[in-house]
Homo-oligomer: A and B are copies of this chain.
Amino acid sequence: MSNSKTEDVDVPPLADTSSFRAPPATARGARTRAALVAAARVVFERDGYLDARLTDITAEAKCSTGSFYTYFASKEEIFLAVIEAAQHDMLHPGFPRLDEDEASPAAVIRASNRAYLEAYKRNARLMLILEQVAVIDPKFREVRRARSRAFAERNARGIKRLQAQGLVDPELDPVVAALSLSGMVGRLAYNVFCLGDKATMKQMVDTTTRLWINGLKLKDE
């Protein structure tokens, strides 16, 4: 699933990391930092970003408030670290690997949608918090938008290619279509996993895949 082809997705750095605290120099330091990140994830998921207090995090990590600032400059920064730690799990093919040769485009789309939805499900609570932060803090809004735009652009290139091959509806604007279809899956995941709308995983994979394929008028040669 994590072959090199999918790794090259243009994932922008999550944020300007230049002002970050130096990484821990000692083993004890590394342990404390890790405890803080784990504690932060617990607290963020439990209380949300706004209601999470730094003291809750340090209490959960069984360390002092002062220690927090040894490793992180702010709540924002530790949140970024939490997100980053969750990244490898969320790393998914990003876009239907339409350029793949070994599989039909349709199969790639299905696999990609499934991977995305499953990863989303695993991290649903954190995703909700990320939505929250994105909407509250323009900096994170930008982070989030850059990421989804990276995917959308990649998708747009894929669609363009398929259009060139005559496999996809030539009438579609590839950029806007990519934006729309990616957004569709993301929104559905959010509605079901975060807000509690009802749908099974199979229904979601089937339907989104079919809507992609139908929507693009993909010729499944």
Contact = CB atoms under 8 A, between A and B. Distances in A.
Given A50-B136, A132-B136, A199 B211 contact: no
Contacts of A132: 135-136
User: How many copies of this chain does the complex contain?
Assistant: 4
Enumerate the 8 nearest inter-chain pairs by beta-carbon distance, A residue then B residue, closest first. A183-B187, A184-B184, A215-B215, A176-B207, A211-B215, A187-B187, A132-B135, A214-B215
Interface string A177-221: 101110111111011100111010001101110111011110000
Contacts of A172: 207, 210-211
Query: Which of A48, A148, A179 counts the most chain B CB atoms within 10 A?
Result: A179
A179 B195 contact: no
A199 B132 CA distance: 25
Contact of A145 (B135, B186, B195): B195
